[in-house]
Amino acid sequence: MIDGVKQQKWWGWGEERISYQHADKPKFAPFVMKLTGVDVNAPVGPLPKLTDFEVPASILSDDLRARLVTILGETYVQTDDETRVVHGYGKGVRDLMKVRAGDFGRLPDVVVYPGTAEEVAGVVDAVVEANGVLIPFGGGSNIVAALEAVPGEARQVVSVNLGRMRKVLEIDEQSGLAHIEAGVFGPDMEEQLQARGWTMGHQPDSFEWSTLGGWIATRSSGMQSDKYGDIADICRGLTMVMPGRVLTLRPLPSTSSGPSVREMVLGSEGRLGIITSAWVNVHRVPAVREIQAYFFPTYEAGLKACEQIVASDASVMMARVSDDVETQYIMANGKQSSKVSSLVSKGIQKLMVAKGWDLEKIAMSFIGFEGSPNHVNYEKGLVGKIVRANGGLGVGKGPGALYDQKKYDTPYLRDFMLDHGMVCDVSETSTPWRYAAEIHTRTVAAVNQALDEIGKRGVVFCHLSHSYHSGACQYFTFAIADDSPSAMASYDHVKRAIQQSFMDFHGTVSHHHGVGEEHAPWLEQDISPAGVFIQKALFDGVDPGQNLNPGKIIHEGRPGISPNSADA
């Protein structure tokens, strides 16, 4: 470990010592068996060792190495196999399938660990002068192939790990702004902020293994975005190192200084430069924070309630509703003794039956409230009325507290399922409210049809994750039972179906994971060919030599899945 820079497993999510367990969740194995035919109690083979594979050699030149060592020192210029492999991919399921099979793609030739913005500038200028390629690296949790070099890249590839740059530099308490280095991981950042009574309130699923710089570079959203905003709202200023220059955008609440350069950096995925620090909105830790659980007779009723909440006088911190299958999944994934199961299995369940609900169709919802005790009560009152008007039922704080504890665990489950021959992934989209119910129905159907077409069993479920005045994000999880050599082709087929459904039914290619290489084939359908033309003009103008993470967002004639081609 370099200077305390945390590093994930080379073959999976998170830390070596943590993995998903289901021994205390007796409903889980039957649930998976019923939906997919996969036996999660079956023994699994040993994981591969990195030494089982031949790792492609680095082509770092002595000249460039010497320059990087001069700037950073020996310790911070790494070329060993494991470091290069960890930095060669993100953590999408496609990445894990490749890396576990020893398909390392075009690994970086060197991983550097600058400690200051000045060192980043030195690295950028040295690499561009050598006509190399720069790929910024935060937590390595990207799932849209934004961290891989272009296959066959003949130039030297340099992965720039920002992990040493992780300090909260300053809190402007009067303005509610903090200046923070870009390489900080979520928990480290919140610990530094909360020690002084502040929070950023940004909680993406990847929180434990993603960084401020990564959030900005991909336009991330957190679970509490209904109150705190997406990262595009939270990030008010930033510093980005570019070849031969440094962009400095001061923290400003709003401005009309021409097209927003801040918004051009947001979502730029390394194509304009390397973000080294940002000014972000921070808030006083609220007096009360409460996540209430509700049940609706159907997912559609839950969607309608969320739509009405944003149109009402209420201001909630989060509003999440799971569809029928995800609700069953949540209950199956609960510990025997947990309040989720116990609440649902006794009085509440009887009440639902008495109401005539189909227990296979119920939708679980978590709605969060923050503020003074009086304000939380006021908001709960406003929301309660809307829930009841849509046939919903409040079940108290217990399940919400459990959700809050477990909210970052899903990627470990994803890896566990992959061990058991099941390819699981997520993809999310946003639409206006008008299309919210339809895109859900259509996308579930599209996944099921795609599974039929390849003759595989699997499952798809969804929750509404973020609400806005005019619409919402829906977040789909899908799994394919396939441990055959063609599992990647199966994945491509289903992933293609889900993305095309998003495009066909008024959604975005992505709501908060970005474009990378994975979603690039759909970008013209999303923002129109003229939109891609405008982005390309920006990238080409800023980076005519294609030194800055080329091939991401817009890739021209690149391999990969395509909406129009047959399966790879």
Residues 105-164 that bind a second copy (CB under 8 A): none
Residue 327 or 467 having the CB closest to a second copy: 467
Selected catalytic residue, list 403, 408, 475, 491: 475
DSSP string, 373-439: HHHHHHHHHHHHHHHHHTT-EEEESHHHHHHHHHTT-HHHHHHHHHHTTEEEEEEEEEEEGGGHHHH
| Residue 495 binding a second copy, by CB under 8 A | no
Q: Which residue in the set 526, 547, 555, 561 belongs to the binding site for a second copy (CB under 8 A)? A: 526
CB-based contact 127:156 (threshold 8 Å): yes
Taking CA atoms, 498 is separated from 82, 473, 508, 563, in Å, by 33, 14, 11, 10
Q: Does 170 bind a second copy (CB under 8 A)?
A: no
Could you say which of 342, 410, 432, 457 contacts a second copy (CB under 8 A)? Answer: 432
Cβ 106 vs Cβ 150: under 8 Å: yes
User: CB of residue 508 vs a second copy: minimum separation in angstroms?
Assistant: 4
Spatial contact of 387 and 104, defined as CB atoms under 8 Å apart: no
**Contact status: 182 vs a second copy (CB under 8 A):** no
Site for a second copy in 444-463 (CB under 8 A): none
Beta strand 133-137 pairing with 157-161:
parallel
Between 297 and 516, whose beta carbon lies closer to a second copy? 516
Q: Which amino acid is at 331?
A: M
Return d(Cα 450, Cα 457) in angstroms, integer: 10
Within 221-240, the residues that bind a second copy by CB under 8 A are 221, 230, 232, 236, 240
String of DSSP letters for 49-101? PGGGSPPPPP---HHHHHHHHHHH-GGGEE--HHHHHHTT--SSHHHHHHHHT
Binding-site member from 313, 337, 356, 564 for a second copy (CB under 8 A): 313
Residues between 501 and 520 that touch a second copy (CB under 8 A): 506, 508-515, 519
CB of 117 to a second copy, least distance (A): 13
DSSP 240-291: EEETTEEEEE---S---SSS-HHHHHTT-TTSS-EEEEEEEE-EEPPSEEEE
Residue 475 appears among annotated catalytic residues: yes
Among residues 165, 177, 212, 548, which is the contact residue for a second copy, using CB under 8 A?
Answer: 177
Which residues within the stretch 356-395 sit at the binding site for a second copy (CB under 8 A)?
371-372, 375, 378
Work out whether strand 288-296 and strand 363-371 pair parallel, antiparallel, or are unpaired. antiparallel
260 binds a second copy (CB under 8 A): yes
Site size toward a second copy (CB under 8 A) is: 90
Closest-CA residue to 140 (of 78, 95, 102, 180): 95
Write down the least CB distance from residue 493 to a second copy, Å. 23
140 vs 507 by CB, closer to a second copy: 507
The amino acid occupying position 560 is G
Alpha carbon separation from 408 to 210, 228, 311, 563 (Å, rounded): 11, 18, 30, 31
Q: Does 242 bind a second copy (CB under 8 A)?
A: yes
Which CB atom, from 327 or from 510, has the smaller least distance to a second copy?
A: 510
Instruction: Compare residues 231 and 444 and give the one whose CB is closer to a second copy.
Output: 231
- Of 529-548, binders to a second copy (CB under 8 A) are 529-531, 533-538, 540-542
Report the alpha-carbon distance of residue 306 to residue 92 in Å, rounded: 30
Q: How far is the CB of 4 from a second copy (least distance, A)?
A: 30
Q: Does 427 bind a second copy (CB under 8 A)?
A: no
266 binds a second copy (CB under 8 A): yes
Task: Report the site for a second copy in 275-294 (rule: CB under 8 A).
Answer: 281, 283-284
Select the residue interacting with a second copy from 26, 30, 73, 259 (CB under 8 A): 259
Residues 6 or more apart in contact with residue 468 via CB below 8 angstroms: 310, 430
What's the distance, Cα to Cα, between the start and end of the chain in Å?
A: 38
Shortest Å, Cβ 362 to a second copy: 24
Q: How far is the CB of 122 from a second copy (least distance, A)?
A: 17
> Please, which residue, 247 or 364, has the CB nearer to a second copy?
247
Stretch that binds a second copy, among 51-59, 79-87, 187-195, 428-436 (CB under 8 A): 428-436
Active-site positions read: 475
